[in-house]
Structure 1
Amino acid sequence: MSIDPAIYYAAVPAVILVGLTKGGMGEALALMGVPLLAIAVPPVQAAAILLPILVVMDCVSLWIWRQHNDRTLLKMLLPGALVGLAVGWATSAYVPRDALRLIIGIITVLFAARYFYNSWRTRHGHVIHAKPHRLAPAAVLGTLSGYGSFVAHAGGAPFQVYGLPLKLPPRDYTGAAVRFFAILNFLKLGPYFALGQFGTENLTISATLVPLAIAATAFGGFIVKRMKPDVFYPFMYAMAFIAGLNLVHDGARAFF
């Protein structure tokens, strides 16, 4: 079996970006992973190559953030996310992924823009309180996160839309996010296997990239653990804004 070396020119930066995200540095970097790798291989193959690497990264992230979590956030979002995964698996062949990217991207851009507007208001004397947990938004956004994760690799934005306004301690928020997406990625292994995407070539490429994935994830965790809340939250909202713009761009490109 001969693997085109050009694949690694795209795969190495893709894995570094996704690894930094898995360490806790925000969804925007991860959204660049599959498109980068898709320069060298078909998009479905790119996603299949990255999925085993994501599972390894999840294991590293779970270890890094093992002492930090917010169980209530997980309890609120996971039931909807599992429903979203199931619906995504059942309907992925029939739903236009670009339309989903566009919708989620617009919501995320507006959500991040609202944060920066509120930050401006806060500097002028307005007080913005943390939002409480709410069952209906959690069900909707959890389902969107699971569904988007399966059909469009866009599960992070809905998670952020629900989780960031809670204003949790940064480490607890990141620990919950790591657990949430580790569960979703593990559950996606079965459907991808059923689609026949875990052949020898794909798994070989994935295996050779694992050491780099571990190093990038550990470095991302190292940086985020040292961020203060007044740095962490503007950074995460900026990442959400960039992620939303990327989704809008990818979704709109199919219609214009």
Structure 2
Amino acid sequence: MTALLLGVAALLIGYPKTSIGGLASISIAIFASVMPARESTAAILLLLIVGDVVAVWHYRRHADLGLLRRLIPAVLPGLVLGSLFLAVVDDGVLRRSIGVLLLAMAALQLVLRWRSPDPDAVGTSRTAAVGTGLGAGFATMTANAAGAVMTLYLVAQGVEKRRFLGTAAVFFFGVNLCKVPFSAGLGLFSSTTLVRTALLAPVVVLGAWAGLHTARRLSQARFDQAVLAATVVSALALVLR
């Protein structure tokens, strides 16, 4: 049963990398329910990088570097804060934090969108960019759960589907690579984790392949609705598990 759950989780890591972002948070809930929280964080990180490679390869030409430049300066402090948090909390606190953190970050972005309904205003808001970068860095370091933050930020700006996928792919590939030395320094990469990751990597690639075909068939309106719905569902899954 554990192997089946991890296989489903691996599919849900690969699939949103190339299509409907936000679903990966469901896989975080699955991993955290069958593995120690710290070990699950390390395993998910390596699998996310596998999905990132596929996504970057297919969508790299559509990445919006201007959006990334506004976010990146705040990401590194978020990673440092997240690393310090991981170093001092136990598994129980970390599990509860995963769900609460996602909902808090999702609520923040929804408030920003409500207060500034004009996509261009949100896009040029320094507060929104810094808040998203800091929140994404912290969330991704502690729980590999920044997808919901980034999804809401991009959707609030009315980002076109391919631009959305390309920007998210390059952003998370860079962020996840930056997290590797932090995680290694915390001793999160055990031999068991590395073996499990190697076995699940092909399933992530399969999920990414399925996501590519889904993205091609979705209209822009359906894509926006799907990523927002996936974000809400994934956040609730983490809190209620």
What TM-score, normalized to structure 2?
Answer: 0.85
**What is the CA-CA distance between 1:156 and the residue it aligns to?**
1.8
Aligned to 1:142: 133
CA distance in 1, matches of 2:3, 2:97: 30
Tell me which moved more, 239-248 or 68-77: 239-248
Q: Do the aligned partners of 1:7 and 1:37 also contact (CA within 8 Å) in 2? A: no
- How far apart are residue 205 of structure 1 and its match? 1.4
Whole-angstrom distance in 1 between the partners of 2:237 and 2:40: 18
In 1, Cα distance between the equivalents of 2:195 and 2:239? 33
Query: Are the equivalent residues in 1 in contact too, given 2:79–2:137 (CA < 8 A)?
Result: yes
Distance 1:74 1:111, change over 3 A: closer
Change in 2 beyond 3 A, CA 1:240/1:109: farther
- Please say if 1:25 is aligned against 2:7: no
Residue 63, structure 1, aligned to residue 57, structure 2: yes
More helix by share: 2
Amino acid at match of 1:70: D
Query: Mind listing any 5+ residue stretches in structure 2 that lack a counterpart?
Result: none
Report the Cα distance in structure 2 between the residues aligned to 1:17 and 1:231, rounded to whole angstroms. Answer: 19
Aligned length: 234
Q: Who is 1:240 aligned against?
A: 231
Instruction: Give the alignment partner of residue 192 of structure 2, picking from 195, 198, 201.
Output: 201
TM-fit CA distance, 1:77: 1.1
Moved more, 239-248 or 94-103: 94-103
Give the direction of change, closer, same or farther, for the CA distance of 1:38–1:88 in structure 2 (3 Å limit): closer
1:109–1:244 CA contact under 8 A, matched in 2: no
Given that residues 109 and 245 in structure 1 are in contact (C-alpha distance below 8 angstroms), is that contact kept between their aligned partners in structure 2? Answer: no
| C-alpha distance in 2 between matches for 1:44 and 1:232 | 33
The aligned amino acid for 2:64 is: D
Matched, 1:16 2:14: no
1:105 aligns with 2:96: no
Unmatched tracts of structure 1, length 5 or more = 1-5, 118-127, 251-256
User: Compared with structure 1, are the counterparts of its residues 211 and 164 closer, same or farther at alpha carbon in structure 2 (3 Å cutoff)?
Assistant: same
Residue 190 of structure 2 aligns with an amino acid whose one-letter code is: G
% identical aligned pairs: 25
Q: Is the 8 A contact 1:102 1:248 kept in 2?
A: yes
Q: How does 1:55-94 map to 2 (within 5 A)?
A: 55-94=49-88
Structure 1 residues 170 and 149: CA distance shift in structure 2, 3 A:
same
Letter in 2 for 1:146: G
TM score, norm. by length of structure 1: 0.81
- C-alpha separation in 1, matches of 2:129 and 2:170: 16
Q: Deviations over 1:127-155 (max 9, x none)?
A: x6423321122112210111111113321
- Displacement of 1:106 in angstroms is 4.3
Give the Å deviation of 1:108: 1.9
Check 1:24–1:112 CA distance in 2 against 1; reply closer, same or farther (3 A cut): farther
Question: What's the C-alpha RMSD, in Å, of the aligned pairs?
Answer: 2.6
Name the residue aligned to 2:43: 49
User: Residue 58 of structure 1 contacts residue 178 of structure 1 at CA under 8 Å; is this kept in 2?
Assistant: yes
Distance 1:114 1:135 in 2: 11
SS in 2 for 1:32: helix
Within 5 Å, which residues of 2 pair with 1:146-185?
Answer: 146-185=137-176
